[in-house]
Structure 1
């Protein structure tokens, strides 16, 4: 159902490097780079992440309540993606842990532009 999700950034080079490195273990790479916006994913027919300089050329602002949630496949993968994001320059917004007993395990980071990202696993 979701084709792509777009988040605003202030530095395209930094954002492309951050997300391409972070999502490499999910077979993601830059699929289409149009300068101001690029699409990162496994292939164009699957859901993608788009990072862009805002169209109005005003500073990007992470939305209050907006969050990108990524499902890497297991609790161990949540831990791994969280650590990798921190190593790539993200900041912690909630260390990995069980949030709802036997139902939801998650970790939260802020990318270098302040966008909130969750890594999660149900079960």
Structure 2
């Protein structure tokens, strides 16, 4: 049974291709005897892959975002989060986080009056 490719698989294949190409480029440098150049190529490749993995995929919206935070006192605040279309009000303090209430997401701004 074939599994459909999702963005993670495509990203993983791209990362593997990038590492392979860097190793192929670094091999002639290693044969020439420049270990420093080889280390620099591998370090540059690792940096590029790290930066590439940190950015979101094109068109991919974050599933969770913090809409507002209100500091109540030292070490206590209220946070309004949006998680997959639902809004959550959380109380955050020294004892941890607690869900205060939840709401459905508001309708889009361009809706009927």
Q: Given the two structures, how large is their TM-score scaled by the length of structure 2?
A: 0.23
Q: Per chain length, whose mean CA-contact separation is higher, i.e. which structure has more relative contact order (CA < 8 Å, sep 6+)? A: 1
More helix by share: 2
Between structure 1 and structure 2, the one with the greater Rg is 2
Q: Given the two structures, how large is their TM-score scaled by the length of structure 1?
A: 0.22
More strand by share: 1
